[in-house]
Chain A
Amino acid sequence: MRVRRPEPHTLAGAYALDALDGPDQARFERHAARCQECTREVTGLREATARLAAAAAAQPPPALKEALRAETARTRQLPPVTRDSRAADRIRPPADARRLGARRLGARRLGARRLVLAVGGAAAVAAVTVWVTASPGPPGGQPAASQEIATVLTAPDAVTMTAQVRTGGTATIVMSHHDGMLVFTAAGLRQLPAARHYELWVIGPGRDRPAGRLPMLSHGMAGPVVAAGLRSGDRLGLTVETASGTRRPTTPMILELTL
């Protein structure tokens, strides 16, 4: 018996519900590659399915989060998709989510506190673009120049370090030793009264110099700040300051690490 095949466009709902497989799925994806309206429609319908997901919310066991910490520590991250990706990929979830069962593909065992940030040039630029467009503009504070961030992120020797801030929160530093530059960001920082701000310092032999005021985003997230001209043996520090333009730290370091 011949199976009746619906018009490809009418499959947009089934596609958004992941209710197509095999030839049906391939057929719709071929159609969608030429049909911008379909792509747009699937995108919109997936906002509806996301609400179906939210309605089914159930807390996973706490152990899962711990297990993930270990798993992400040894899982290398992917570069972003590039502009010339095929149209079908635009409406798909990340291709690897479905085609590759191997979640450890490309995974490399790395020190837990020191991950090689192996991003290509396009990767870092796109990551920064996402960051810049996704982040709400920081009120009061100079956002670091995208170009400088990209320079650090694309450096072949870029490494990522994380460190706890004593008053709460975690700092993430991406650094290129070769270029003597780093990008500093933080999450989970304690909210400060309006008159105070977080200030980053480069602490070198015989001199401390301010590396910039940390722009605050929502929910204790802050940054990015770029620090340049770093030398071997320099340390990075964070304090809470009141006055702008302070030349040296006036309060105890709440974060200090050797670069």
Chain B
Amino acid sequence: MSPPRRPWAEAPAGTDHADLAALLARVAIGDRAAFDAMYDRVAAPVFGTVRGVVRDPGLSEEVTQEVFVEVWRAASRFDASKGSPMAWVTTIAHRRAVDRVRSEQRSAARDRRAASPMIAYDEVAETVEDNLDRDRVRRCLGTLTDLQREAVTLAYYGGYTYREVAGLLRVPAGTVSTRMRDGLIRLRDCLGAGR
């Protein structure tokens, strides 16, 4: 299935976003079949994101399960005017993953994580096979400056705070925060324009 060709706000009915939004609306009233259909569409991005941050396979599954129970519980709170359904779900997933690693900072899973600045970026390629989004995202990440790209990927795929990223990259925290913002804006524009 090809990705939508327009930004979410203009996405016509019948695109992935609209379908996913319709599924979520049905999940909100307790439709288990809609929940299954929704799961099939978003499970891979959710699990991949969680596993990237959490690392430990068992813990990743546990967090992924929590994410979907949360989606089930909170489906009525999805508001299509405030973003795409995929962004809503992946935001819940990423948040829960980082909350987990931050609350278990000293766990073995966390300690095993490598601190090399480039590792998160490289692992995008490792963990993903045959993924249409991957190529586009990788290409767009390539348009960022090194610092922007490292800041964005360490935070998102690594689950580090911007102060931790500043420590890893040995640059001031204020610089990291602006690079994260500039980098994400550029990424957003590249992904939007390149569709």
Contact = CB atoms under 8 A, between A and B. Distances in A.
20 contacts: A5-B174, A10-B178, A13-B177, A13-B180, A19-B161, A19-B162, A45-B184, A45-B188, A49-B90, A52-B157, A53-B45, A54-B133, A58-B44, A77-B30, A78-B76, A93-B91, A93-B92, A130-B76, A172-B30, A187-B31
Given A65-B39, A75-B69, A185-B26, 9 more contacts: A11-B162, A17-B156, A19-B160, A19-B165, A53-B49, A174-B29, A185-B31, A218-B14, A219-B37
A11 B90 CA distance: 20
Q: Residue among B74, B157, B183, B185 with the most chain A CB within 10 A?
A: B74
Among A55, A79, A153, chain B packs the most CB atoms within 10 A around the CB of A55
Contacts of A67: 65
A55 B133 contact: yes
Contact of A55 (B128, B163, B172): B128
A58 B76 contact: no
Q: Is the interface of B mostly helix, strand, loop or mixed?
A: helix
A126 B76 contact: yes
B8 to A, nearest CB: 6
Interface string A210-239: 000000011101000000000000000000
Interface residues of B, number: 100
A46 B91 contact: yes
Contacts of B18: 134, 136, 218
A16 B74 CA distance: 20
A96 B73 contact: yes
A18 B155 contact: yes
B149 to A, nearest CB: 11
Interface of B: 7-8, 13-14, 18-19, 21-26, 28-37, 39, 43-49, 51-52, 61, 64-66, 68-70, 72-80, 82-84, 86-88, 90-96, 98-99, 102, 124, 127-128, 131, 133-134, 136-138, 152-153, 155-157, 159-163, 165, 172-174, 176-185, 187-188, 191
B161 A127 contact: no
List the 3 shortest-distance A-B pairs measured between CB atoms, nearest first. Answer: A13-B181, A136-B13, A170-B33
A71 interface: yes
A10 B46 contact: no
Interface of A: 3-6, 10-14, 16-21, 24, 43-61, 64-65, 67-69, 71-73, 75-81, 90, 93-94, 96-98, 103, 115, 117, 119, 123, 126-127, 130-131, 133-137, 153, 160, 162, 169-170, 172, 174, 185-188, 217-219, 221
B131 A57 contact: yes
Given A48-B188, A69-B32, A137-B13, A14 B162 contact: yes
A11 B75 CA distance: 28
Nearest to A13: B181
A97 B74 contact: yes
A66 to B, nearest CB: 11
B65 A64 contact: yes
